[in-house]
Amino acid sequence: MSVDGWHTLLVLGGIRSGKSEFAESLVADAPTVRYVATAPAGDPEDTEWATRLAAHRARRPGSWTTEETAANPGRLVEVIAAAGPNETLLVDDLGGWVTVLLDPAHQPADDTATIAELAAAVRSSTARLVLVSPEVGLSLVPTTPLGRAFTDALGATNRAVADACDAVALVVAGQTAWLKPTTPAPAHAVPPAATSPEAAPSRAATPRTAAHQAAPAQAVPADLGAGDVTLPEVLTPAAAPVPARAASDEPGTGDWAAPTMALPMIATGLVIQPGMELPMPDDYTGPQAVDRLATLDIPGAGLGVLEQVVGFAAATQGTSTPRPWDAVRVLLIQGDHEGGASAGATPGESSRRARQARAGRGALARLAAENRAGLQIVEAPASAPMEERPALSADEVEAALRYGWRLAEQAADAGVQLLVLAACGAGAEAAAAAVLAATAGAEPPTVLGRVVTEQGEIDDAAWMVRCAAVRDALHRTRRSAREAKDVLAELGGGDIALATGVLLGATARKVPVLLDGPVGTAAAMVSRDLAGQARHWCLLPDHGGRPGVRLAADVLGLTPLVDLRLDLGEGATALAALPLLRSALTLAATLPVHPSLGGPDDEGDTGERTGTGDRIGGDDGRAEDEPDFAEPEPAGPGPTTVGADEPVFPGRRAD
C-alpha cells in the first residue's frame, strides 16, 4: 500500500476535495485497517453533519475496525505510539482532533506540547500510518477569535506532522499533488520478516517491516552517456542485513561483481557491438558441484532437476559449494508497443501495473517482498507500430542498450547476487514473437500465445490482429539486415532493447539472471549475437506455457526447471520458484557427506557438521563418539530405538 517509498503519509485537502477517498484508497489492500475517527459526535439535531459521518462509515470495509478518540485528544498519540509494525492506521482527520483539543472541556492545556507529542509519535511510529487533515491556510484570516485559534492550531499541527511524515500529498478537486518527495525510508505494502542486504532502514527509529526505496519510473534518456544519468532508485523490502561471507572463505565468491575486462569506450560512453568478449561461468566448478551432490547425506534419489540449479550457481559463483542468493534485485521494465502488437490490451494497463508495483501491491511486488528482493522499475521508450515503421531509431536502440547495461552495473556495485528480469507492456509478447521469427526462423502463429481478456476470455480476433502485425512487420523488413541492433530497431522495441543491455551488463559483471517470459527470452536471443557468453549466465525456472518462451529456451539451450504454468506477469513466476531454488542451494551447501563415504555418524554427535565433515559445537569434555545419554530399555512390547531415528518394532530385525 505504500506509494513511492513513504511509510507515514499526510494527506491534505480542502472541503470535498476527495482527500479522504484518496487516503482510503491507499490502504484498501491492507489485510486489516484500524480507522481512527477523531471528530466529535456533534449536535444530534444537525442532520447534515450526521449524514457526512454516515457516508464515511459506509465507505469503510467490514474488515476495518474503528476507534474513537474524540473524548480525549491525548488518546490519538497513545494509539499511534502503541501501534505495531504489522498494523495499518488511517487517521481521519486532524481537523476534528484540533477541534477537540481546543474544546473548553479540555482546557487549560498546553496545546503546543500536545501537538509536539503527536508529531513525535508519528515520527517514531513503526505502524503504517496515513493521516488526513484539512488545509485551511489558503483562506482569509478568520474574523473571530475562535476561528483564528482553530486555523492557527491546525496550521501548526499540519506543519509539525508534515515534517514528521515521509511524504505529504495535497488533494485539490480530486487531483493529487505530491508536496514532499519521498526519501529512502521504510514503506510497507507487504511486511516481510527480514531485511534485504541491499538496503537497511534509514531511520534511527525501530526498524519497520517492509521498506521500499522508491522513485517514479524513469524513461530511458536519449542522450545516455557513460555516467551522466541518474538511474531509478530501488524498492527494497527491509529488515536486518545478512552479513556477507568474506571473500577468503570460498574461492571465487569474493569477486562476483568485479569488473572483468576492458570494454571499448568512446566519448559518449560504452560501445556495445557484436563479438564482444565477455566472461564465461567457471567450466569446472559446475560439474564438480553436481558430482559432489552424490556424496551428500541425502535420502532418496536426491535433488532431481534442481541439480541444474546447483551446477548453475556453482559455475556462476566460481565454487563447488555455492551458497543461496541473498541479495536479489528485480528489474521491472515497462514499455508499450503501438499498433497491432497491442491488440486486445487494455489501454493504460501496463502503466497501472507499474504504479501498482511501486506502491508495493500486486503479485510481483508481494513476491519480491516475500523473497526479500529489491524492486527497480524502469520505463522503456514507447515503440512505434512495427508493421508500419521501425519500432525505435538507431540512436534510441543505443541509448536503451547502454541504459540497461548501467542498470546491471548499478546492481553489481550494490552487491546484488542475482537479477530477475521482469516486464509489463502492451504488445510485448507480439514484439518478442517478431524477434523470434527474425532470429530463429519461427512462424509467428506458432510462437504467439493466445490473447486473454480481463474477464478471462480468449480473444481470437485480437490474436489474429497481433499475428497480422508480426507478419506485416516481417514483410516490411524482409530485405533489412538481421544484425542484433537492426532487429531491435525494426522489431524489438524499447523494452527488449533495454533488457538486452541488462543481460550484457550482467554478463560483464558476472551476475546471473533469472529469465521469465517473452521479453527476457527475446532479449537473450538478441544478446547472443552481441556476446555469445550472455546466455550462459541465464537460468529459466519455467516457460509459463508460452510457446515463444519454449522455442527460445530450446534455441538458447536453457532447460526450464519446473512447469507451474503460472500466469502472474513476467517475473512473478521466477520469484514464485525462487524459494525452491534457494532451498536446493541451501541443502547442497549445508548437508554433510554420507557416513558411508567418511561423513559424520549422527549417533551420539551433538555438534553440527559442515559439508566437509568438520564438527562444530557439542564440545562438553566427552569424546565425540560418546552418546549424550543411555537410551532406557522399553518396559514392554513396543518400538525399540536402535539409532537416532530408526524405531524397530517387535518381530522386525534391526538390520
Residues 172 and 130: their CA atoms lie apart, in Å, by: 18
Cβ-based neighbour number of residue 218 at 10 Å: 16
Q: For residue 616, report the phi and psi dihedrals to the nearest 5 degrees.
A: -120, 135
Q: For 562, which DSSP code? A: B
Stated length of the chain: 655
Integer Cα distance of 186 and 306 in angstroms? 35
Q: Strands, E, within 52-119: which ranges?
A: 65-68, 88-92
646 has catalytic annotation: no
Grid coordinates 551447501 are at which residue? 589
CA angle 105, 108, 114 (to 5 degrees): 95
CB-count burial class (<10 Å; 0-12, 13-18, 19+) for 246: exposed
Contact present, 9 and 26 (Cβ < 8 Å): yes
- DSSP letters, 301-344, are T-SGGGHHHHHHHHHHHTSSS-----SEEEEEEE--B-GGGGTT
Half-sphere exposure in the Cβ direction for 214 (13 Å, CA)? 31
Q: Regarding beta strands 175-180 and 167-172, do their DSSP bridges make them parallel or antiparallel, or are they unpaired?
A: antiparallel
Distance separating alpha carbons of residues 489 and 526, to the nearest angstrom: 12
Query: What is d(CA 422, CA 333) in angstroms, rounded to the nearest whole number?
Result: 6
Burial 396-410 (b: 16+ CB within 10 A, else e): bbbbbbbbbbbbbbb
Instruction: Exactly one of 198, 570, 608, 631 is catalytic; name it.
Output: 570
3-state class (DSSP) for residue 652: coil
Say which residue the cell 510462437 belongs to. Answer: 447
CA–CA dist 383, 241 (Å, integer): 40
Contact criterion met (CB below 8 Å) for 490 and 386: yes
Of 412, 634, 405, 570, whose CA–CA distance to 502 is shortest? 405
What 3-state class would DSSP assign to 414?
coil
Q: How far is CA 225 from CA 83, 104, 177, 231, 402, in A?
A: 47, 64, 32, 12, 8
Q: Are 196 and 239 in contact (CB under 8 A)?
A: yes
List of residues 6+ apart from 30 with CB closer than 8 A: 1, 88, 128
Active site residues: 570
